[in-house]
Amino acid sequence: MRRTERCDWFRPLLIVLGVTFAASLRCPAQEAGFLDLTTIAARIELRHPAAPDGTPAPIRDASGKPSGCTLPAGNAPALRTTLLWLDRSEYQAGDEEKFAVQIENVGSAPVSLPFSPHLADLQPEDPGQKFKYSTLIVVLWLGGERWSESQSLGSDVALYGAKDHPDTMLTLRPGEWAQLTGKGKFTLSNNVLPLVHRGDAASYANANVSIYGVEEVLSATASKAMGHGACLIQSQGPNVAVKVSPSK
C-alpha cells in the first residue's frame, strides 16, 4: 500500500513567491494507494476452535446471504470504478485474465476502504471469538450487444479491513483513487451461453465494487458470516472491448 503526493513540489515554490492564497489551493486528484494482488499470497484461511474431544470434523458453512442497500441516500459515499486494462483482447471461458481497476472517490467526503488481502490477520487470538470486519469486492463482468450481466461472468477479488486494524484501511479523500491489479477467470453463465451461441458474443467488460460489513463467528464444526452491504452511489468508467468465447 502506498500514498503518493503529486503536488508537494509546488508548495515550496508558493512560499518562496510569497503567495498569500496558498492555503486555499488544492492538490490535483492523486493516487492514494496501490496493490498488486498478482504478486501476493493472500492469507484468508481462518482458524477454528478445537472440538471438545479433539476429533477433527467437517466444517459446515452456515453463512447467510449478504443483505444489500438498494436506495443510497444523496449523501452516501460516491465511488467511480474504472477497468483500466486487460492483459489480452481475446479469451476463452476459463482462461486466466489479468486486469487493473481504479476506484476513485468522486463524492465530497472522505471514504474509508478495506485495503488488505489478508483476512486471517483480522481474526482474534481466540478463534472462537466473534469478530467484525469490512470487505471490498471488485467484480469484473461481461456484456454483449443486447445483454449485460453482472453476476458470475467475470472474476472477483476481495480486500479486507477493520477499524481496530488501521493499517488495513485506506482513506480516499475527494478526488483520490486507489488502483488494484488482480487476476481471475472469465466464465459464461448458462443464461448467457444461448445468446453467445446465437452470435451475440461477449464483446466488452467492465467492473464494479461492493463494500460489506461482516460479522463472523467460528465453531469447531461451523463457520457463519453475516454481511450487510454499505450504501454507495456508484458510477463506472467506459467499457473495455474484449472477446470471450465459450471453451472448446
What is the predicted pLDDT for the residue at 60?
Answer: 83
Q: Is the pLDDT of residue 45 over 90?
A: yes
Q: What is the pTM of this model?
A: 0.82
Q: Is residue 21 part of a domain?
A: no
- What average pLDDT does range 85-103 have in this prediction? 93
Going by the DSSP 8-state scheme, the letter that residue 125 receives in this structure is S
- What average pLDDT does range 94-110 have in this prediction? 94
Most confident by average pLDDT, 21-35, 56-70, 71-85, 231-245? 231-245
What is the predicted pLDDT for the residue at 248?
Answer: 76
Most confident by average pLDDT, 63-77, 144-158, 188-202, 228-242? 228-242
Q: Check residue 199 and give left, alpha or beta (phi > 0: left; psi -120 to 50: alpha).
A: left
What is the Cα–Cα distance from 202 to 245, expressed in whole angstroms? 7
- Give the cell for residue 17: 513567491
Q: Is residue 53 part of a domain?
A: no
Cβ count within 10 A of residue 32: 24
- What average pLDDT does range 104-109 have in this prediction? 95
- What average pLDDT does range 228-242 have in this prediction? 93
Mean pLDDT of the chain, nearest integer = 84
Task: Supply the range of the domain harboring residue 175.
Answer: 32-41+59-245
> Of the ranges 10-14, 31-35, 209-213, 233-237, which one carries the lowest mean pLDDT score?
10-14
- What average pLDDT does range 154-163 have in this prediction? 89
What is the predicted pLDDT for the residue at 40?
Answer: 94
Q: Is residue 18 part of a domain?
A: no
What is the predicted pLDDT for the residue at 53?
Answer: 74
- What average pLDDT does range 68-94 have in this prediction? 87
Cβ count within 10 A of residue 188: 22
Q: Is residue 23 part of a domain?
A: no
Q: Is residue 13 part of a domain?
A: no
Q: Is the pLDDT of residue 154 over 80?
A: no
Q: Is residue 211 part of a domain?
A: yes
Count how many domains the chain has: 1
Q: Is residue 20 part of a domain?
A: no
Q: Is residue 180 part of a domain?
A: yes
Q: For 13-30, what is each residue's pLDDT tens digit?
A: 444 344 333 333 445 669
Q: For 179-190, what is each residue's pLDDT tens digit?
A: 999 999 888 877
- What average pLDDT does range 27-36 have in this prediction? 85
CA proximity to 138, closest of 94, 177, 96, 99: 99
Q: Residue 36 is inside which H or E element, if any?
A: strand 31-36
